[in-house]
Structure 1
């Protein structure tokens, strides 16, 4: 089947590539397939295989979200072996247009299209829908983006907000900073707020207590914390959630994002009950005289696993991308 009226969208990470098709003027993905990047030498092979699986011989245009910096036409994936030139790929498949955007930009663009059933309210009041939104999420790194509303739609902000300085607020965090500074030199907030950041935080807590830190992966720490039988893992994960709250609150004050905070990424949906009972809210609202602004700002966890595909579909027709 030829599908020139359809568009291809994708969300490509270090391990997996999610592909889907969308109809003109629609952002809802269909024929979603998740392919292992390691099974293909490069992007073009994966696209050919996906289109065959979807029964679409060809499509008219494409937009891919990639977990890597996007500069010019050359794309080098950060955590897998794929390398490609966007113009070469466009010509190879005969697409009228081919956009490649950062994966967290796509995450931000997808947020307004996420169904209410995939938004879990954490705290905050009604907010102001006329104001910007903050999109932030711990995963492999700490992604930070924003959405600015205009008369014609949303303008996504491409930031490196995960690399701002880690700012301690008490004696415990000063000790954490000293430990991580000895290891890394400069300590960004991403050093404590991502998968490896959780490991760093857990190891720092262990060093402060003078105990061993036997767990060496974020999923092991979260499992031990959620099970409730490992005090070190539990306290480290609670601290992680509080630090995420402080960082998100700082983002609200910086961006003026009274339109809401949207917490994305793969970590939080897997620990949702633990997270909802954590000190996140205290960290988020603890802004002194600015507390009323934070209490007014709604915070949601985004649980839709295909938010990036929604964003890639939005980017196809968004002139600001």
Structure 2
């Protein structure tokens, strides 16, 4: 099995689908182009020494279906025959996986490409709309995922195809704007002297905001984890946590608005991941949309763009399944990211 530059797209069924994150791995098998994916319980990456063992033990040992192809999305750069994940110790080795698991064709994509694909695979019943605006058919979209880090991707429509545009937008600079921001931002933990979106808009970013507010107010921080701060912020049981969550939501709105301008995303801006799903009440209180739309001289432009939270935790699996069914619908380059036998 060798890497191939073939973009002919067609994959042989059954197809193993996998969304591999730093903590969780979600799998499904697609029997044919008309079937709904057969889903399996979510796997904890820490429970298995490598991805091959996880697939064999958690998936293949529990079904009589033998996949012929695989489409995997991984949280890490796909640059060689050994693909390291950013936040766990698994290494994806397509050649060894093919021989060990009996696969003929393996495609490996970036995890936020899969999230971008999910935007056109999921219906609005699997999303929560935040504020106004109407999605324009065929218009560009933006996907943000505050989680372990801050994932960002675009989705554009050209030449009758949806084309995901992955990148590192989570590392754009972000700065203070309000008087309160100027009190808090000097106390934020920096990376080599700078504050990027990912220093604020992820799990550890929420903790960073919380500690900075406490320091600005000369308070001792009482909470330590993103889950504790989120819960206390939603309940308003801790004033520092409540302000931290509010600042998180506002900064997320500002960043979402910036990216909406970059991509001219008249098709909408979509928030994904566990944090966004947990803080929907805070996102709907008006602060997110106010920050999103506050982009003079383009306030009216932003006001017309809808924003959503994807509420389906397996959205990326749906996106990968949509690609696996009809690759020609999507402009996904598999150059150096596809391994075929023969």
Q: Note the residue ranges of structure 1 that are not aligned, 5 or more in a row.
A: none
Aligned-pair distance for 1:31?
2.8
Residues 195 and 25 of structure 1: CA distance in aligned 2, closer, same or farther (over 3 Å): same
CA contact (8 A) 2:190 2:199 kept: no
Q: Would you say 1:131 and 2:139 are equivalent positions?
A: yes
CA contact (8 A) 1:62 1:97 kept: yes
Written as runs of structure 1 = structure 2, the 5 A alignment for 1:216-235 is: 216-235=224-243
CA contact (8 A) 1:28 1:310 kept: no
- Bigger shift: 264-273 or 81-90? 81-90
- Look up the match of 1:71: 79
Q: Would you say 1:281 and 2:292 are equivalent positions?
A: no
Runs of 4+ in 1 over 4 A off after TM superposition: 181-184
Cα deviations across residues 238-266 of structure 1 (Å, max 9, x unaligned)? 11101100000000111111111111111
CA contact (8 A) 2:232 2:242 kept: yes
Secondary structure of the residue that 1:59 maps to in structure 2? coil
Cα deviations across residues 183-231 of structure 1 (Å, max 9, x unaligned)? 7521111101000000001111111111111111110001111112211
- Bigger shift: 140-149 or 24-33? 24-33
Written as runs of structure 1 = structure 2, the 5 A alignment for 1:116-265 is: 116-180=124-188, 185-265=193-273
Aligned-pair distance for 1:84?
3.0
TM-score after normalising by structure 2: 0.88
Aligned-pair distance for 1:53?
4.5
CA contact (8 A) 1:63 1:100 kept: yes
Q: Larger helix proportion, structure 1 or 2?
A: 1
Give the Cα–Cα distance (whole angstroms) in 1 for the partners of residues 316 and 40 of structure 2.
12
- Look up the match of 1:51: 59
- Look up the match of 1:307: 315
Residues 271 and 27 of structure 1: CA distance in aligned 2, closer, same or farther (over 3 Å): farther
CA contact (8 A) 1:62 1:98 kept: yes
CA contact (8 A) 2:209 2:244 kept: yes
Give the Cα–Cα distance (whole angstroms) in 2 for the partners of residues 152 and 97 of structure 1.
26
**Of the candidates 322, 326, 332, which is equivalent to residue 320 of structure 1?**
332
Residues 23 and 183 of structure 1: CA distance in aligned 2, closer, same or farther (over 3 Å): closer
- Look up the match of 1:295: 303
Give the Cα–Cα distance (whole angstroms) in 2 for the partners of residues 123 and 255 of structure 1.
20
Secondary structure of the residue that 1:309 maps to in structure 2? helix
Q: Would you say 1:115 and 2:127 are equivalent positions?
A: no
Give the Cα–Cα distance (whole angstroms) in 2 for the partners of residues 214 and 230 of structure 1.
9
Secondary structure of the residue that 1:288 maps to in structure 2? coil
CA contact (8 A) 2:175 2:195 kept: no
CA contact (8 A) 1:7 1:22 kept: yes
Secondary structure of the residue that 1:232 maps to in structure 2? helix
Aligned-pair distance for 1:271?
2.1
- Bigger shift: 227-236 or 44-53? 44-53
Give the Cα–Cα distance (whole angstroms) in 1 for the partners of residues 23 and 169 of structure 2.
24
Q: Note the residue ranges of structure 2 that are not aligned, 5 or more in a row.
A: 1-11, 334-342
